[in-house]
Amino acid sequence: MPHSYLINERTFLAIKPDGVQRHLIGEIIRRFEKKGFKLVGMKLMQASEDLLKEHYIALRDCPFYSHLVEYMRSGPIVAMVWQGLDVVKTAYAMIGETNPADSRPGTIQGDFCIEVSKNVIHGSDSIESARREISLWFHTDKLTCWADSTEHWIYE
Ligand code: GDP
């Protein structure tokens, strides 16, 4: 079994408003759950403009920034925290490339979307981003720590 701090790595994933409207919540959660990752936090919420501006602060000078914030405000989002060995890197790979056109079949963006401006899911791109995003979207002391009985069948 890898050291517990390694399997406790966390990432932030969010099903965007188009993913919710297109009834992809179950399909998306299913992929991470079946992979073997552990869900430790989840909420369906309408994000505020302030939260979204802060979430995408690194993109504030991009021409699509305000469009992006509007898109993310256009309906409810499913905000989630997932845990597991290398979850940041692996979940990001399972999502696909930022532009769905560059994403392979088998990835979420390769399978479910076409345009970069309607790309159904967000995932943290690094451990540092994951830390920042989790603390932005969740009270970290409210995340649920639980013992997954399948852990011995997933990790050596
Ligand atoms: P990510 O790490 O894959 O989410 O990619 P980025 O941080 O570069 O972009 C954040 C989000 O901005 C993407 O997931 C898209 O929703 C959106 N985005 C990125 N590039 C474009 C673009 O050229 N046009 C529009 N409208 N949205 C974009």
Res 62 pLDDT > 80: yes
23 a catalytic residue: no
- Paired with 123 in beta bridges are 13
Question: How does pLDDT run across 45-54, given as a tens digit for each residue?
Answer: 999 999 999 9
- This complex has an ipTM of 0.95
The whole-number pLDDT of residue 54 equals 98
Question: How does pLDDT run across 86-140, given as a tens digit for each residue?
Answer: 999 999 999 999 999 999 999 999 999 999 999 999 999 999 999 999 999 999 9
- Short-list 73, 75, 71, 60, CA closest to 115: 71
Res 58 pLDDT > 90: yes
pTM, whole model, 2 decimals?
A: 0.96
C-alpha 62/C-alpha 150 separation (Å) is 43
Say if CB 120 and CB 22 are below 8 A apart. Answer: yes
Say if CB 28 and CB 19 are below 8 A apart. Answer: yes
Confidence of residue 12 (pLDDT cuts 50, 70, 90): very high
Confidence of residue 4 (pLDDT cuts 50, 70, 90): confident
The whole-number pLDDT of residue 2 equals 76
- Listed in sequence order, the residues at least 6 apart from 63 whose beta carbon sits closer than 8 Å to its beta carbon are none
Q: Is ligand 1 within 6 A of the CB of residue 48?
A: no
Q: What is the mean pLDDT of the chain?
A: 96
Residue closest via CA to ligand 1's atom 26 equals 117
The whole-number pLDDT of residue 126 equals 98
Question: How many angstroms does the Cα of residue 134 sit away from the middle of ligand 1?
Answer: 19
Find the catalytic residue in 3, 23, 67, 122.
Answer: 122
Provide the token pair at 50. Answer: 């302030």
The ligand 1 atom nearest the CA atom of 95: 3
C-alpha 7/C-alpha 75 separation (Å) is 33
Rounded to an integer, what is the distance from CA 149 to the centroid of its chain?
24
